[in-house]
Every structure is written in structure tokens, then in C-alpha cells.
Structure 1
């Protein structure tokens, strides 16, 4: 099953008070797709990068149980693991340079707007009807 969504949305405080700023991710190298930031990959990220809204990802979920939860809407959160390279401290910590480590499907994202927004079933020949 394939999906698309945002692992981060710019200028939106997360539950911890951090705010990711545009350009913080810079060029993004390939990263694994995990479940709840742990364990072995549950699929793969096909495309990832910043757009005007945030860090947009498309990928494939290979784990059948997790794919069923995402398909049914029981899991729709996205999140990302990172190392802070630069930030501004103030009323909120503004993340201005981030080293991305992984993207995860999660039950409860730190950033409320970081969600899967589209799901597409795979077809054996790679084409949709």
C-alpha cells in the first residue's frame, strides 16, 4: 500500500513547543520508514522533501497489519527522528537546521498536523485502474 503525507508542517508548534522553520531540512538523504520510531523498517520512503507546507513524503507500507491500520484510518500520524544542527531559543525553540534520521508512522504525532493524507492500494502491474 502506498501513502502520502506530511512528516512536519512548517511554523506550527508541536506538543513540546518546537517549531520547524522552512529550509530546516535542506537537501534530504534517503531515510527509513519505521513504526513508532523503533525497530526494523515497515516499508520505504519513495520521495521526501520540503515544499511550501512542510516535509512531504510518499512511501510504501510493506507490513500488512500496519497497512490495514493506515487504510482503515486507525493510524494516520507521521513523525520524524532528527538531530538539531541549529536552532533559535526564545518563547519557542525554532529548529532552523535539522539532520533527518528517519520518518515514522505513529499513533500520536508530536505535531498535530503531521498526517497521512492519501492512501492508494498497490496493483500487481503497478498501474491503477
Structure 2
């Protein structure tokens, strides 16, 4: 029996919230770096989600919201954030996410410990500074996986349960 799991069906996202994976463990990015499980643990203990900045396209002058949850799981670095509705760039990002025109995530970090692997560096410990919503992530699988209901251009959000079921079945290919 095949089983597929998704966070989308487990988490009710509120207005302006989204979730996804900012990094995947054991997968080389376009620059040859591979993040090892546990690489973010010390940084997250020190800084917590609130001290990791949410930026647009890695521009330090373009914060667009806050990270509410950042944690390592068996797949990688799972994140849930909330866009700042009073920031024009954040409203633009929300619209692009809703349309599917933007869905990449990318990490900004400083390497603290790495070793050489067969195809590049294996990052064993990093200091996580920021996570950006981007057009082209260096790690192809780093993506927004679900967005919350928003009132946009007069549209009413779906009722919570209907949205969760739609997201979960869509993510599982049903």
C-alpha cells in the first residue's frame, strides 16, 4: 500500500500564512551543497523562529513578514510564516503565491562546520540568518507547499475544513 504524507492536511493555515520547506536534507543544491540532518539545530536553539528574518529574494531591505515556526523534521527544514499585510511588497508576494507565480524558498546562512562530500560540501552546522521567498531557489525542492485563506479582491476564503481537504487531496495527487 502506498502512503503519501503532507503537512497541508494537518495544519489549518490562517489568513496570510503559508508553509513549506526551506531546505531538504541529503539533497544537493545547484551549488553542490548538501545539508545534513541536525545542521540547523544549534542555530534554532539560539535564535528561534522570531530571530530568523523573512525576506523577499534575499534583499535585506525587503522584510515581508515573520516566521512563526521553523523546525527540522525527517525531510528537512519545515517553516510556517505569516506575511505582513501592511507591507506593500508582502501583499504583492501574497498575490503571487496565491496565483502560483511564486513558490520558492531559499536560506541565507553562514557555514559553521562542513566537510567535503563526493559532489560538494556537506553542511553539518550552519547559522541560519534568513529565509526568503524567491523566484528561483538554488535547491529545487525548497518550496511553499500550502497557503492560507485570504480575503483578496472581494473573494471569501474557503471554510477551514473544505480548504484543508482540498489542499491535502491536491498534495497527494488525488
* TM-score normalised by the chain length of structure 1: 0.92
Quote the residue 2:66 is aligned against.
44
Unaligned runs of 5+ in 2: 1-15, 85-89, 152-158, 161-174
Higher helix share: 2
Are positions 1:21 and 2:68 aligned together? no
Which aligned runs of 4 or more in structure 1 are off by greater than 4 angstroms?
A: none
**How many residues end up aligned between the 2 structures?**
125
1:96 to 100, 124, 133: 124
2:39 aligned counterpart, secondary structure: coil
What do you get for the CA RMSD once the two structures are aligned? 1.3
Are positions 1:55 and 2:70 aligned together? no
Cα distance in 2 between the residues matched to 1:81 and 1:15:
15
Are positions 1:65 and 2:80 aligned together? no
Are positions 1:81 and 2:108 aligned together? yes
Quote the residue 1:11 is aligned against.
26
Cα distance in 2 between the residues matched to 1:98 and 1:17:
16
1:121 aligned counterpart, secondary structure: coil
Higher strand share: 1
Cα distance in 1 between the residues matched to 2:117 and 2:64:
37
Most deviating of 40-49 and 100-109: 40-49
Cα distance in 1 between the residues matched to 2:19 and 2:117:
33
Unaligned runs of 5+ in 1: none
2:41 aligned counterpart, secondary structure: coil
1:71 aligned counterpart, secondary structure: helix
* TM-score normalised by the chain length of structure 2: 0.69
Q: Deviations over 1:4-39 (max 9, x none)?
A: 000000000000110000000014123110001002
